[in-house]
A and B are shown apart, each in its own frame.
Chain A
Amino acid sequence: MRMKVISIPEYCLGCGLCEIYCAAQHDGFNGNVLKAYKTGQPDPRSSLIRSRPVSWFNTCMQCEEAPCLNACISGAIKRDRDGIIYIDENRCVQCYTCVMVCPYGHARPSSRSGRIMKCDLCRDSEGMPACVKHCPNGALKLWQGGEEQ
């Protein structure tokens, strides 16, 4: 079954909480926003795009024939049993081929460390992805197969 987080721009307020909770859910911060932002180096996996007149959270579409997965020169980009495309950071050589081929501009380097970041649907934690859980206006939802929208 294919899953992805989708954005509903009509409901998006552009507040950016999605980015904050996304960063806090990764890199061992376990969803602790204060810890991530006060003491750590938070790196949101997806980014909020404000493109006049709309805004939306630019998440990974977990494509069926994924350009990033096809293009990865080191075999660092993989798909797990749930269909989630993730990065094995130990294997990544930061060639940015995935960045070059992602039509959504989703896979992108961290401005801090240069490592590649992409949405992994919070696969290491229980329940809904952090962005969906914390969106205050219901502008994000987890799509789990079936009809779009």
Chain B
Amino acid sequence: MKYVIIGSGIAACGAVEGIRSTDLCGDITIIDGEKRGAYTRPLISYFLSDPDRYRDIDYRSLEFFGEQQVEIIPSRAKQIDRSDQIISLDNGQQIEYDRLLIATGSCPLSPPIPGAEQDWVSTFYTIEDAELIVGQAAQIREVVVIGSGLIGMKAAEALHKRGMYVHMVEKEAHILPRQLTPRTAEFLNEHLSSSGWDIITGEEVTVIHPQHKVELKSGRMLSADLVILAVGTRPAVELARQSELDVRTGIVVDAYFQTSDPKIYAAGDVAETLNLASQQLEVMALLPHAHREGYLAGCNMAGQSKPDPGSILMNSVRLLGWNICSAGAADYRGGELLTWQYQEQLLELKIRDNRLIGYIAINVPEAAGPLTNSVSRKMAISAASWKEFLADGPQLLNIPPVYWQELRRAEAYGSN
């Protein structure tokens, strides 16, 4: 069996592990379009803050690929010929496949802002982006980061750590708009602002002037030696579209990650998968999901039959020493919000119909695992139990006992 994987990111690594869990002798070829191996994107901000310490940001090492007997071709896939099952690469090579995985990930959105094409304006998505900024760092004193999502936040943190002055412009009413509620955002905002960040919310950048000035809608002008565009990402579906596979926002796959062509699979940021909270098929571009999806797709490509149970949106991030975990639904309309706060710790639980549907935990990591699992399994745990949990202090030993009983019922927790 000839397995080919287009993309060398997290889903690709998961797929290698999945294929090898079943098929130890099939040929596996990875087409690495970025030509940088299997590195982990979230670590580019760590590289930017301290390039010497974080020089090695490989997700899986070359030895790993050696042990798994994977051939890596540093070239970009240009075209998929589905009838002959051949991929053409931009180095002229042609590669045959029996099973193909498209794991091309996402790419950063470029907002239509006049001046965004200048060479001191950059996205922050690849290791190459980070290296370019590191190369110019000595000349940079002041930066404008457009967007306060996770990418913008981690870029801003790294630049701040290098001693640069950070302006952050967010068009929504508060920072991390997709993760946080107004109150949790305000709580984090105070921490970042008191560390010296200039955070401007409810504002948009209208023009980036060549004189190193960034103009906002209100007319306010910011100076900048560097502008980071961090306004979101989209799935890299070009190849799939050109090959006439079913594509909506992302590539359409079934529960086994099979696309509309039974020989071709897709996983990771590029595919639409089941969000258990909304019960919709969505692009959930998150690293943990990419690995799991890749693994399951790999198992299925090798002949197993492992469906995707679906997942929920979740994030855990460290920002200037603070930990922010969030998972589940953003919207809790028709439900209630329980809040617990102590000094630098803040926890919000979103409850509806006696189920935890989402939570945000700032500096309260310990019980986060059971909280996430309560959300994704839709466990019936009453609002009263969660109130008691908060009243006793949101620690692991105070998790409602019914949670552990449910867990023991559901799986082999070793004890009963």
Contact = CB atoms under 8 A, between A and B. Distances in A.
Interface string B34-68: 00000010110010000000000111100000000
Interface string A80-113: 0000000000000111110111111111110000
B414 A107 contact: no
A149 B416 contact: yes
A81 B414 CA distance: 22
B291 A71 contact: yes
B327 interface: yes
A71 B367 contact: no
B189 to A, nearest CB: 20
Nearest to B402: A51
Interface string B380-415: 000000000000000011010100100100001111
B369 A106 contact: yes
Nearest to B374: A103
Nearest to A93: B46
Contacts, number: 115
B373 interface: yes
B404 A51 contact: yes
Interface residues on A, range: 35 or more
A148 B316 CA distance: 33
Nearest to B306: A65
Interface stretch (A16-24, A37-45, A53-61, A130-138): A53-61
B370 A49 contact: no
Contacts of B295: 65, 70
B70 interface: no
A8 interface: yes
A107 B369 CA distance: 8
A65 B43 contact: no
Interface stretch (B206-214, B272-280, B317-325): B317-325
Interface residues of B, number: 41
B316 A95 contact: yes
A100 B287 contact: no
B415 A8 contact: yes
Given A70-B295, A75-B40, A51 B368 contact: no
Contacts of A65: 292, 295
Contact of B365 (A8, A50, A108, A149): A108
B235 interface: no
B184 interface: no
Contacts of A25: none
Interface string A124-149: 00000000000000000001000011
A40 B370 CA distance: 31
A50 B414 contact: no
A13 B235 CA distance: 53
A93 B318 contact: yes
Contacts of A74: 40, 42-43, 57, 59
Contacts of B40: 73-75
A7 B404 CA distance: 13
A140 to B, nearest CB: 10
A75 B38 CA distance: 10
B343 to A, nearest CB: 14
Contacts of A95: 42, 316-318
Given A51-B401, A93-B318, A101-B314, 14 more contacts: A5-B414, A49-B396, A56-B415, A61-B412, A70-B14, A73-B287, A95-B318, A96-B318, A96-B365, A99-B316, A99-B368, A100-B314, A104-B413, A106-B369
18 contacts: A50-B397, A61-B412, A61-B414, A70-B295, A71-B291, A73-B287, A74-B57, A74-B59, A95-B42, A96-B365, A97-B316, A99-B368, A100-B315, A100-B325, A100-B327, A100-B369, A103-B369, A105-B366
- 5 closest residue pairs by CB, A with B: A6-B414, A71-B288, A103-B373, A102-B369, A100-B316
